[in-house]
Copies of this chain bind each other. A is one copy, B any other.
Amino acid sequence: MSPSDRLFPADPAQRAIARELYGHARDLPIISPHGHVDPAILADDLPFPDPARLIVVPDHYITRMLLSQGIRPAQLGVATLDGSPYETDGRAIWRRLAEHWYLFRGTPSRAWTEGVLTEVFGIDVPLGPATADEIYDAIAERLSRPEFRPRALFNRFNIEVLATTESPVDDLRHHANLAADGWGGPGGRVITTYRPDNMADFEWPGWRTRIAELATLTGIDTSTFTGFLSALRSRREAFIAAGAVSSDHGHPTARTLVLSAPEAAACYARGLAGTADAADAEAFRAHMLVEFARMSIEDGLVMQLHPGSMRNHYQALYARHGRDVGGDIPAPTNYVDALRPLLDAHGDDPRLRVVLFTLDESGYTRELAPLAGAYPTLYLGAPWWFLDSPDGLRRFREAVTETAGFYNTAGFIDDTRAFCSIPVRHDIARRADAAHLARLVAEERLPLGEAAETAADLAYHLPKRVFRLER
């Protein structure tokens, strides 16, 4: 990354400390234990498409902000569900972004995109209406070169391990291809993550179809709850064989619940019969978190919990473009009551490891830091989604460190589908942590040497340890 002082505090003495601490983290390899990069990108290693399809179309941070000011996703190339027209001219899409680039002032999307332009593509011209074409052409030219193929960039980005995220009914073919090329499998550079939300949620469209797919894929009868659990376990084995070290769970709430075996079986049966109501669905999701915890105790997968997002809040957007286009909105999220059934059952078991994420910062000091600072099973994930920004990262450290310390946190998570933005995202996190640590040093709260060690731990050693990537 650049030698700039980006994100460092203005005071010269504190800035010098931040610069020094950052120096201890800057060049460490990237550990990316949770994200949404399409494994096909690295399995196939084809050139990236045009600049707009690389940077604008799939990035709902960008299309969301433009929509908020009236530029419709269809004008930005986002495909429509009903086949109505949408922009297909990459240059036109790019010009629209450039024209409204001022909307992104002060946002991480701007920092990430500028980082991609500057650091990945070597473009030093500021983006704007006057420079749109020049920059578009420059990116397009780079993308045609072999050194901008995905695997070449992976090497250049100094990524040690990257985890993608798949459903249990994914056949993991891309990961098989990666393994065949020496890039995947246990201990490999590109690994998978087991994300069974669409199996645990009756309300997810197509749930019953997917249960049937699970039976087909595993050869296990999923018509009973015990068969269903066996099939899920079978897929965990396949995921572990594809390098997985963790599972991920993105439920609407953090609710957990211990149903008895007959209760759980009956609830599942109602789901299959199509007679489950909303309370059944919530109870089943809550119970399944406990089942997944039990599986984790057996097989060692680290559990990631990502609760508290109200999916598809923006109905008109969902109707036109489907899921994951920027219409999800966070909701208040309780952990202290919600996690208690799980913690009462398994919270003291050292084999279980749960990494908690949140979109509700009001829980940082009230619930999350106290929980992670007490239970040996619990770790705090990095600020998530709307919060993995410079000020969001600062608030996280300022809020949780005094109660949970640094070593009950899990290191930075980029959580991105934008492959080219991975280095700049990690760089920003390393800078933000260096800035936080520099304040502690400047205020005589931590000696410089320990701060330097902590900076390196947060950037590299801690995520490796917490996500069991040292094995």
Contacts and interface: CB of A to CB of B under 8 A. Distances in A.
Interface residues of A, number: 91
A330 interface: yes
A111 B445 contact: yes
Contacts of A450: 102, 105
B65 A106 contact: no
The interface centre, meaning the residue of A4, A327, A405, A450 with most chain B CB atoms within 10 A of its CB, is A405
Contact of A348 (B8, B316, B350, B442): B316
A451 B64 CA distance: 23
15 contacts: A8-B443, A68-B375, A102-B450, A105-B446, A105-B451, A111-B445, A313-B336, A314-B374, A315-B347, A330-B370, A331-B337, A361-B362, A361-B366, A391-B398, A391-B401
Integer count of this chain's copies in the complex: 3
A15 to B, nearest CB: 9
A14 interface: yes
A354 to B, nearest CB: 12
A106 B373 CA distance: 13
Contact of A103 (B14, B340, B405): B405
Given A10-B11, A105-B454, A126-B447, A313 B340 contact: yes
B336 A7 contact: no
Nearest to A364: B361
Interface string A440-463: 101111110011011000000000
A371 B108 CA distance: 17
Contacts of A313: 336, 340, 343, 374
A341 to B, nearest CB: 10
A326 interface: yes
Interface in A330-382: 330-332, 334, 336-337, 340, 343-344, 347-348, 350, 359-362, 365-367, 369-376, 378
